[in-house]
Structure 1
Amino acid sequence: MRRGDVDLHAQTCGDHGGPAVVLLHGLGGWYGEWTRTAAALAPRRQVVAFDQRGHGLSTTRPVETSRGAHAADVVAVLDALGVARATLVGQSAGGHTALVTAATYPDRVERLVLVEAAVGGGDLTGHQATIEWFRSWPASIASADELADLLGSTADVAATWWDGLASAPNGRRPRWDLSVLEAVLTGIGHREHWDEWDAVRCPTALVRGTRSAIPDAQVARMLQRSGVTLHRVEAGHDLHLENPSSWLDTFETVLSI
């Protein structure tokens, strides 16, 4: 679909008369990260996964990279599909998008599931390290094994990332533009978005890895609000890819609360 100057690539599956779930990937990711999750949900729910602006098959170099633009994209996808309200599930940067969407468009969000995600802000040195890591990616990656070494991940996790890369003469290459990733991360990291968090009114689940990248202090403050639950998965930051079975069990628990 098209919104302004941006094409948004979305995939849908499942019961189109059932409750809707929107799946939002993290920085540098793509909608295919959620393939296993979508398949598990499809028998009972309408599932939507899309490449956020600057990622995947959506417009790679959008002019606007603000948090507000990302949230408006979510609502535009819902509108295009005729979905009035949805559960938003976001990992890392996608979780921040889900949070801002729930705060800005409360009537459109039934439930919020933040997977290794919180209110942003934090250590600018850490954000710069993230960008430098993305900068270290070669122009062409020869194989999924090479990508696994780059990610420091298992073959299964690397295979999912590999499938999201574009073809290159000697292998595959990232689809994202580094300047866009940096702009997105700056929007998330320049402050802690507590005003947005305080504006959220829907039930919210925090799903953390046991090797979480999310500050404990932020999680503790988030849990002070009523209607917020905390769940743990034995994994790191990409817990939906690192331990998909435990993630899916946890997610089913969240949806049944």
Structure 2
Amino acid sequence: MGVRVPYVETDGAKVHFTDTGGAGRVVVLGHGFFLDQEMFAAQAAGLAPEYRVISIDARGFGRTEDSGVPFSYWDLARDAWAVLDALGIERAVVGGMSQGGFIALRMALLAPPRAEGLILIGTSGDAYTAKQQKGYRQVMDAWSGSAPLEPLATTMASVMIGGTDEDRQPWLDKWLSGDRTRLALAAECLINRESITGLLGEITCPAVLVRGISDQAFTADEMVALTDGLGGPAELHTVPAATHAVNITNPDEVNELLRKFLARLD
């Protein structure tokens, strides 16, 4: 079955997603900041048709439209559950990379019986420190400003994605041709998110965590803390020669880890 690209209307958004379809266990994936659901193309190709992969564009990204009202990651978690409700799906493995992980954790907290498992790639349950907030705000101010974007975008691609020119170029093309001001509300959501570390113990479904060894967004200690804080069985894997978006640059290694995790759930 081919990938379907429908929309679901929620309170505050018209949410775009892709769906490989099929009767297999459902895996829902949320993308990282600056990216969109296309970052999971290799996972959709590698897991389907045995598994049904649904990838969602968050508000501010891809083809999802929002109403211009501020939102939180709890709102984005509700958006994701609304997509599954519209598809008649009761339970799913929920996951994501970076901000997609923020969303997945909140999905599991909002509806524990519906989360069969967690896939967390380069993410955290904590809030940013004041220093980190200042740094990210400076980046976002520059991103939405009037100075040439290419130098900043090239640096971001190197830090976030790494890998080869072939890995980075599609995202550079999107960034340089897109609306630089579109990310304002998404940036506020990212920078001002609250810590949920005190709630992690309530998440008791099995989890697999993946980190690129050179990830500059979240340290090894942060991901160990996330792994240890979860209330269910959780395993952390480190992928050599990878940065933040490890599933883009190292799809074979990540897909193998996900398949082993999903097979254990089966």
TM-score under structure 1 length normalisation = 0.85
The residue that corresponds to 1:23 in the other structure is: 29
Give the 3-state SS of the residue equivalent to 1:9 in structure 2.
strand
Summarize the alignment of residues 33-52 of structure 1 with structure 2, pairs less than 5 Å apart. 33-52=39-58
Summarize the alignment of residues 84-99 of structure 1 with structure 2, pairs less than 5 Å apart. 84-99=90-105
* Contact persistence 2:26–2:51 (CA under 8 A): yes
* Residue identity opposite 1:118 in structure 2: S
Q: Distance in 1 between matches of 2:156 and 2:122?
A: 21
Identify if the C-alpha distance between structure 1 residues 131 and 254 changes in structure 2 by more than 3 Å, giving closer, same or farther. Answer: farther
Q: Distance in 1 between matches of 2:46 and 2:224?
A: 31
Summarize the alignment of residues 63-82 of structure 1 with structure 2, pairs less than 5 Å apart. 63-82=69-88
User: In angstroms, what is the RMSD of aligned CA positions?
Assistant: 2.6
Q: Distance in 2 between matches of 1:49 and 1:239?
A: 17
Q: Distance in 1 between matches of 2:181 and 2:233?
A: 36
Q: Percent of aligned positions with the same letter in both sequences?
A: 26
Selected match of 1:251 from 242, 252, 258: 258
How far 1:89 sits from its partner (Å)?
Answer: 1.7
Identify if the C-alpha distance between structure 1 residues 157 and 24 changes in structure 2 by more than 3 Å, giving closer, same or farther. Answer: same
Q: Distance in 1 between matches of 2:78 and 2:199?
A: 15
Structure 1 residue ranges without an equivalent (≥5):
166-170
The residue that corresponds to 1:161 in the other structure is: 171
* Contact persistence 2:246–2:254 (CA under 8 A): yes
How far 1:61 sits from its partner (Å)?
Answer: 5.4
Selected match of 1:195 from 189, 195, 198: 198
Summarize the alignment of residues 140-151 of structure 1 with structure 2, pairs less than 5 Å apart. 147-148=153-154, 151=157
Q: Distance in 2 between matches of 1:121 and 1:160?
A: 30
Q: Per-residue CA shift, 1:55-81, capped at 9, x if unaligned?
A: 111115541411221111111000011
* Residue identity opposite 1:186 in structure 2: I
Q: Distance in 1 between matches of 2:114 and 2:173?
A: 31
Q: Per-residue CA shift, 1:209-245, capped at 9, x if unaligned?
A: 1113324444333333440111111211111112222
Q: Per-residue CA shift, 1:155-180, capped at 9, x if unaligned?
A: 22323424655xxxxx6124662321
Q: Distance in 2 between matches of 1:140 and 1:177?
A: 16
Report how many aligned residue pairs link the two structures. Answer: 248
Give the 3-state SS of the residue equivalent to 2:29 in structure 1.
strand
The residue that corresponds to 1:168 in the other structure is: none
How far 1:141 sits from its partner (Å)?
Answer: 7.9
Q: Distance in 1 between matches of 2:11 and 2:112?
A: 23
* Residue identity opposite 1:199 in structure 2: E
Q: Per-residue CA shift, 1:182-222, capped at 9, x if unaligned?
A: 2111342xx42123312212111111111133244443333
The residue that corresponds to 1:11 in the other structure is: 18
The residue that corresponds to 1:239 in the other structure is: 246
The residue that corresponds to 2:218 in the other structure is: 214
The residue that corresponds to 1:182 in the other structure is: 187
* Residue identity opposite 1:126 in structure 2: Q
The residue that corresponds to 1:230 in the other structure is: 236
* Contact persistence 1:33–1:160 (CA under 8 A): no
* Contact persistence 2:91–2:113 (CA under 8 A): yes
2:173 is the alignment partner of 1:173: no
Structure 2 residue ranges without an equivalent (≥5):
1-7
Identify if the C-alpha distance between structure 1 residues 253 and 192 changes in structure 2 by more than 3 Å, giving closer, same or farther. Answer: same
* Residue identity opposite 1:80 in structure 2: A
* Contact persistence 1:106–1:200 (CA under 8 A): yes
TM-score under structure 2 length normalisation = 0.82
How far 1:12 sits from its partner (Å)?
Answer: 0.7
* Residue identity opposite 2:58 in structure 1: Q
* Contact persistence 2:101–2:120 (CA under 8 A): yes
Q: Per-residue CA shift, 1:23-55, capped at 9, x if unaligned?
A: 100112111111111111112111111111121
Q: Distance in 2 between matches of 1:44 and 1:175?
A: 38
Q: Distance in 1 between matches of 2:58 and 2:211?
A: 22
